[in-house]
Amino acid sequence: MAKGKRPVSRRRGVYVIAAWTVWLNASCASQQREVEDANPVDLTISKSADIATLIVVFAVEPENQEMLIQVLKDGIKTVMSERAGCIAATFLKSKDGRRVISYAQWRSVKDVEAGPDRSDPEVEEYFQRVKTLAHFEPLLCDVAYVHHI
């Protein structure tokens, strides 16, 4: 281990969001762009930020993890980026292949709760593709604590 580096704690039940494996950081406004490498991330995690944080934990079979990530990436670019209030989304994948975590920021809880128009065939097709690949649990969160090192 390099001098000055601390090992990452891997306590059971704790998702280490600080260990960013950035698969997607898409601005959901007209300035949409994609980042698929280890460049600095535009997301700011702050307890004082006046934004809504939506975390979705997807349970997926390992052989479907990459396909799920591709479906989510396509969905953020086409379906979700059309929603008012969407700021950014980041997808993380577990090393064992059994989970994908979506970390999304929204301007307000109302924007999250408004939800996409499920009567739109494109939106419904997107959600059906996700449901065939994974079970998921959305969690609307407030940032409780941030420790920057």
What the chain holds in terms of domains, given with CATH numbers, is 52-141 (3.30.70.100)
Give the single-character DSSP code of 115. Answer: -
What per-residue confidence (pLDDT) applies to 42? 61
Please name which of 70, 80, 86 lies closest in space to residue 117, comparing C-alpha atoms: 80
Q: For 104-115, what is the mean pLDDT?
A: 89
Which residue, among 68, 69, 58, has the nearest Cα to 139 in the 3D structure?
Answer: 58
What is the average pLDDT across 75-102?
91
Other C-beta atoms closer than 10 Å to the C-beta of 53 total 19
What is the model's pTM? 0.71
Q: Would you give the end-to-end CA distance of the chain in angstroms?
A: 17
